[in-house]
Amino acid sequence: MILCFDTYYFDNKAKTVCIAFESWENDENYQVTTEILEGIEEYQSGEFYKRELPCIMSLLEKIQLENIETIIVDSFVFLDDNQKLGLGGHLYRELGSTIPIIGVAKTNFATIEKNKRPLLRGTSIKPLYITSIGIDLDKATELIKNMSGPNRIPTLLKTLDTLTKERDDR
């Protein structure tokens, strides 16, 4: 099982969504788990993980972690080439360094050069930026490259983004 996480912030709340699926190449069979938390801390520059990690960990309590192959986060695993941990790295450590984490970011983070790979998908001239821990970076990049969908952002990651931003809290 592969898990993808994303969180959307609004009105001092955070909506975290997880899509679980079995195959990197298939975008049709997936399960969705969602949670909205209140009283979310403000963003602190350089410490994004302090805001989002509690949201992911809370949602993970609703998911059985046996047979999890990989977790994908909409963020970076490392923040520099000295392996300063980003959200993905902190998640990896929080999970006992047992489940590989792949970070898929839509914008570049200039302090990383060797610990990330730009990935062009479809006809896009704007890359995704891949980072990883617990899995070889080139293999992680290839897995994201081979995900279903013809566009820059794989279909399931686009679905995740859409579900995360839907306001179902009212």
- Helices (H) and strands (E) counted in the chain, each on its own, are 4, 7
> Is 153 in contact with 145 (CB distance < 8 Å)?
no
Evaluate if residue 71 carries a pLDDT over 90.
yes
Distance between CA atoms of residues 99 and 92, nearest Å: 7
| Least confident stretch, 40-44, 84-88, 132-136 | 40-44
Model confidence over 77-87: pLDDT tens digits?
Answer: 999 999 999 99
* Residue that has been written with the tokens 């820059």 in this structure: 152
Model confidence over 89-126: pLDDT tens digits?
Answer: 999 999 999 999 999 999 997 788 899 999 999 899 99
Domains and CATH numbers, the chain: 2-165 (3.30.2170.10)
Q: Which ranges constitute the DSSP H helices of 10-152?
A: 48-60, 87-94, 137-145
Average pLDDT, the chain: 92
Residue 105 β-bridge partners: 129
Evaluate if residue 144 carries a pLDDT over 80.
yes
Residue 170 pLDDT class (50, 70, 90 cuts): very low
Evaluate if residue 4 carries a pLDDT over 90.
yes
* Percentage above 70 pLDDT, the chain: 98
Distance between CA atoms of residues 148 and 45, nearest Å: 33
